[in-house]
Structure 1
C-alpha cells in the first residue's frame, strides 16, 4: 500500500484512520502485518492516509487564568448560598415555598396510574409517596458513602463524570449525572447562560440542586424537573463550544424528554413561579432544537401563568411588594422577549399587547449584576437583558401596527407610527455595544458571551428588515416576510439595499462561531436567510459599487450553514428558501465574473 511518508502508521497516542474509513465515519482497524484495514481488504480498496492530523491549539495562559477566576467566584457564590444548616433569606424562603409538592422521579408511575380528573388531584398538586421510595435516588447518585453531599471546594472538569446515570423505577426512569458532575454543569449554566438571561435566582437554584442530591427534594417533582432543565441547557451550551461532543446533544434530548413527562401533572397544579420557570426553560430548549414550533406554545403558557401570578398588575397604593417580585419580573421579560421575537418571525400578533404592560423594564445596573456581560479583560460591560427587553417592545408594537391596520384612522396615521418605531429602533441601535467592530467582539468577550450577542444581533436584524419591508408590501402582507414568497416580494420592492450594512455585519459576527454550531443557528434561522438574500440581491443590483467577489466569499459559508439547517429541519418551506438562495447564488456568481472582467 502507498502511504504518505510523514503519515506512516506508528504506535502513537493519536488514532489514525485511512481515507475510506474517515470518509464513511467507521472504525478503522489497521493490521500491522498487511498495513491495511479490514474494511479495505474486504472491498479490495486502496488503504491510504493522505489527511494530516493538525496539532491541538494551545490555550493562552492568560485566558485560562481568567476562566479560573470566574470559576472560583462562582464556587464562592454557591457555597455562600448554602452556608448554614437552616438559615435562609426571606427571598429564598419565599421562592422555596413556590416549589409545589408532587412525586419524585422514582414514583412518577404512581401519578400516571392516577385518574386525571380535576377533582381527583389536590389543588396544590400534592401526591403521597411511600416510605420505601424515600432517599434511594440520592444514594444512587451520590458518590460519597454518607448520604449528605456538601459543596466541594474545587470542581475540576478533568476529573468529573458528566454522563447521565439512569435509575429505573418500574417503567419509569430518571437520569442524572453524579453529584459532582451535576454541580459542575450548574456552574456552567450560571456563568454562561443565567448571567445574561436570569432565568433563576442563583442562590435558589443552587439550593434546589443540593436538595435533590441530598435527599431533601424527595416528593418534589418540580425540583427534579428544574434540575433536568438546567442540566439540558448546560449541555446545549457545551454542544456549541469547542469542548462539545455528540453526547451533549444526546444528553439534552434525554433530560428534555424526562422533563416533558411531568407536563400532564403540571397542567392540573396551581401556577407558581417555579412552574413558570419550568415552562420557559422547556421553551428555551425547544427553540434550539430541530422542531422549534412547540416553543411558542410554552412561552405563551408562561406569560399567561405569570399574569395569574399578578406580575402585570399595578400594585395598590401602600401595598407591600412581594419578596420574589424581582425574579417574577425577570422571568416575565425573558418570556415576553421570546414571544415578541417568535411572533415577528412567524408574522403574527404577540400574546400580550404592549399597550397593556405594567411591568418595569429591567434595571440598567442590577445590584446582583444579572443581565450583564463583561469583557474578558478591562471594565467593559453591557446589560444585554435590558436591551433585549427594549427591543421586544419595539417588535410587539411593529407587529400590532402591521397586522392591525383597522385601528388607525387613516394610512397616514399608520405611517406616522411606523416612522416613530423606526426612530426608536435607531435610538436603540445607538448603544455603545453596536459600535464595537467584529474583531473587537472576538478579542473582548468570552465565547459564551458571543452567543448572547449573536442572538441580540439576530433579533435586531429581523426587526430592522421587517420595519422596512412591511410598509412596502401593502396594508397587510399575505405571506410570511421570511418565507420564500415574502423574500421575493421584498426583493421586487427594492427593500434589500437598505438592509445591506446590517446583513453584512450580522454575517461577520455569525462567522465568529463555527458553521456547524447548528443549535445556535436555529435561533437565528430567519436572520441567516434574510441576511443571505440581502447580500446576494445587493451583488446583482449594485455590482459596480461593491467588491462583489468579497461579498460572495462571505456568503458562501453562510449558504453552507443554511443548507445544514434545512437538512436538519426537513421543512418543505425551507426547501423553497434553499432553491431561492441557490438560484441567487448562481446569478451572483455570473455577476462576479463579469465584474472581475470589467475591472481587468
Structure 2
C-alpha cells in the first residue's frame, strides 16, 4: 500500500495512525540514490536483485514553540499562583454583620518581624549577663503559607493575650481589648493567614506576651524563640496588609510590627513599616476628625488611638534616623484620645507621649530638615531656644519624676508602668540633646566628624548635662531580658553619654569629672557587649559609629581630667 506522499506505510498501522515513516530503504540510503517504493520493494532493488529492507525512522514531531516560551510559562505560573491566592480569600466571605464591622474592627495589631536565631555573646557585664542578649536577624520575606509556628491551645493563647493587655496595651492602647477578645472567641479555632488582619494581630499579641515574659525569666532564650516564631507568622502577611487589606486592623498590624522592629540593630524595616501604616491610615482618613460622620463615639475613639500611635512612631523614627517624617502637623485635625475606658494615669501617659512626639516633629522640621539647613547658625539657635522652652513646658506638665537613683541602681524589677516611664524619660533626653547642640556654636573635633547629622554632639549646657547624668543611670534599670528595649533606647543613652564625655573634654576642672567618668562606664561596657557579635556589628552601622565616637571621647576626657588633676590635685579632693 502506497501513501499519497509516496512513502510506504508500515504493516499493522492504519494510514491515519502512522507513527513512523520510511523515506528510503537501507540499500538506497547507502548508495545515496533515489528510492522508488513499490508493492514488491523499491524499484532499484528489484532491478539489481538485492534484498529491499526498510529500517523505520521515528518522525515524531513536537509542536513548534514560540519565541520566549520559557518566559511566558513563568508568567503563566505566577498568574496561577495569584489566582489561587485570590480564590482562597474570596471563599472566606464574611456574613452581613461582619461586613459592617470590618471597616472599624480594632483587633490588635500585627507585630514585629524577626528574630531567627538566638545568639549569646561572650564576656562579662555586671548589669547585663551576655546570656540575656539574643540578637535578632530580621527576615522580611513575604510568605503566605505555611505559618512558621503553630498557634498554642486556646487556653494558653488566652493567658498570653491577657499578659499583653495588662502589661503593654493598657499604657499604649493600640488595640481594643473588647473587640479583640470577641474576635478571639469567634475565630481562634479557624485562624489562618487567609484573614490577614486578624492573623497578624493575633500573632503580634502572642509575640509581645512572650517578650514581656522574657523580661522576668532567668533564662529568656525559650521565650525569645517563641516570640520570634509568632513574629514570623505576622510577617507572612505583610504584603497582603499593604496591598489588599484596608481596615483598621491592618493599620494596627503594621504599627505593631514597627514597634517591635525598633528593638533591632537595623532601624530600616521599622521605618518602612511605619511609613506603610501611616499611608494606610491617611487613606482611611484617620488623620481627620470629621472624615466619617456616621461613626459612633466608640469607633471614633478607636480610630484616634490607632492614628496617634502611628504618629508617635513616625516622629520618633524620624528624629532617630534624621529622615523626614510622613505626617505634617498642618495637615491633620484629629483630637487627642479621651475615652473614659482608659485609666486616668494611663491616659495621661499616652497623651504625654503624644505631646513629646509633637515636639520631636518640630525639632526635626526647624533644626534638621533641608529647609533648616539653609538657614544660618544664628537663625537655628533662635529656633532651638524656642524649642527648648517648649520642651521644658512639656516636661513640667508631664511630671516625669522617677524613683530615687538608689532604687533604680538596686536592680529591683520595674513594673510595666515604670518601664514605659523610663522609655518616655529617655526619649525626652534624646530630644533635649538634639535641641541643645544648636543653642550655641560648637567647634568641630575629630570625634564630631564621626557622627551623622542626627547624632552630632551637644554643647555643654548645664540643663543637658544634668539631665544626661540622670539618664545614664537608667542603663542599669533596663530589664535584663529585654534586648529589644536596649536597641530602641541606644540613641538616648548615646546622646547622654556623649554629652557628658564631650563636656569633660571641654571642662576637665568640673567637680563632677571623676563621677561622670564612672557613670558612663556601664554604657561603654554595653557597647562592647553588643559589638562582640560580628553579625550584629555588621548589621548596625549606627553601633559602629557610636562605639568609635564614645571610645574616642572617653579617651580624650580621661586624658584631660588626668592632666588637670596633675596640675592642681587639690581641686579634686
TM over 0.5: yes
> Counterparts of 1:536-551 in structure 2 under 5 Å?
536-551=501-516
The residue aligned with 1:581 is 550
**Greater relative CO, 1 or 2 (CA 8 Å, sep 6+):** 2
Change over 3 Å in CA distance of 1:389–1:129 after alignment to 2: closer
Task: Tell whether 2:391 aligns with 1:425.
Answer: yes
| Residue in 1 that maps onto 2:178 | 203
**In 2, distance between residues paired with 1:175 and 1:414?**
54
**For the structure 1 residues 203 and 441, does the alpha-carbon distance in structure 2 shift closer, same or farther, using more than 3 Å as the test?**
farther
State the 1:457 CA deviation: 1.3
Give how far 1:398 is off. Answer: 1.7
After superposition, give the CA deviation of every residue in 1:404-445 in whole Å (9 maximum; x if it has no partner).
Answer: 437999987765544332211110010363234434975999
In 2, the alpha carbon distance for the partners of 1:542 and 1:467 equals 21
CA distance in 1, matches of 2:238, 2:145: 20
> What are the equivalent positions in structure 2 for 1:588-599 lying under 5 Å apart?
588-593=557-562, 595=565, 597-598=569-570, 599=572
Match of residue 428 from structure 2: 460
Q: What residue number does 1:369 align with? A: 342
2:91 matches 1:128? yes
More deviation in 255-264 or 316-325? 316-325
Partners of 2:440 and 2:461 in 1: CA distance: 11
Secondary structure of residue in 2 paired with 1:175: coil
Secondary structure of 1:289's aligned partner: coil
Asked whether 1:184 is paired with 2:150, we answer: no
Aligned to 2:349: 384
Q: CA deviation at 1:562?
A: 2.3
CA distance in 2, matches of 1:251, 1:400: 40
> What SS is found at the alignment partner of 1:383?
helix
CA contact (8 A) 1:515 1:558 kept: no
Q: In 2 relative to 1, CA 370–339 (structure 1 residues): closer, same or farther, beyond 3 Å?
A: farther
Q: Alpha carbons of 1:427 and 1:441: their partners in 2 closer, same or farther (altered >3 Å)?
A: farther
1:257 Cα deviation after fit: 1.3
Tell me: CA distance 1:306–1:512, structure 2 relative to 1, closer, same or farther (3 Å): same
Offset at residue 505 of structure 1 (A): 0.9
Whether 1:505 aligns to 2:470 is yes
Equivalent pairs counted in the alignment come to 434
What is the CA distance between 1:362 and its match in structure 2? 2.7
C-alpha change, 1:512 and 1:560, in structure 2 (3 Å) is: same
Quick one: structure 1 residues 565 and 307, their matched pair in 2 at CA, closer, same or farther if it must change by over 3 Å?
same
Moved more, 194-203 or 280-289: 280-289
For each residue in 1:355-374, what CA deviation from the matched residue of structure 2 results, as whole angstroms up to 9, or x when unmatched? 212111233xx41125844x
Structure 2 gaps, min length 5 = 1-76, 94-143
| 2:206 matches 1:239 | no
What does 1:551-570 correspond to in 2, within 5 Å?
Answer: 551-566=516-531, 567=533, 568-570=536-538
Residue 272 of structure 1 is matched in structure 2 by 247
Deviation at 1:206, TM superposition (A): 1.8
Note closer, same or farther for the CA distance 1:462–1:575 as it changes in structure 2 (3 Å cut). same
Shift of 1:312: 1.7
2:314 is the alignment partner of 1:339: yes
Which position in structure 1 is the counterpart of 2:229? Answer: 254
Q: Distance in 2 between matches of 1:535 and 1:414?
A: 23
- With over 3 angstroms needed to count, the CA separation of the structure-2 counterparts of 1:212 and 1:446, relative to structure 1, is farther
Change (3 A) 1:554 1:514: farther
Alignment partner of 1:288: what SS? coil
Residue aligning to 2:267: 292
C-alpha distance in structure 1 between counterparts of 2:181 and 2:468, whole Å: 40
**Cα distance change of structure 1 residues 415 and 528 upon mapping to structure 2, 3 Å threshold:** closer
Query: Structure 1 residue 448 and structure 2 residue 416: aligned?
Result: yes
Q: 1:534 aligns with which of 472, 481, 499?
A: 499
Distance 2:328 2:474 in 1: 32
Residue 264 to residue 320, structure 1, CA distance change in 2 (3 Å): closer
- Whether the 8 Å CA contact 2:257–2:270 is kept in 1: the answer is yes
The residue that corresponds to 1:518 in the other structure is: 483
- Residues 466, 481 of structure 1: 8 Å contact kept: no
Pairing 1:310–2:285 present: yes
Query: C-alpha distance in 2, partners of 1:171/1:274?
Result: 21
Does the Cα contact within 8 Å between 2:211 and 2:482 map onto a contact in 1?
no
1:268-287 deviations in whole A, cap 9, x for unaligned? 32411011111111111211
Tell whether the 8 Å contact from 1:240 to 1:519 is kept in structure 2 after alignment: no
CA 1:316/1:361 → structure 2, altered by over 3 Å: closer, same or farther? closer
Preserved CA contact (<8 Å) 1:314 1:358: yes
In 2, Cα distance between the equivalents of 1:515 and 1:540?
32
Deviation at 1:112, TM superposition (A): 9.4
Q: What secondary structure sits across from 1:435 in the alignment?
A: coil
2: CA distance between counterparts of 1:482 and 1:271? 45
- CA change 1:180–1:270 in 2 (3 A) is closer
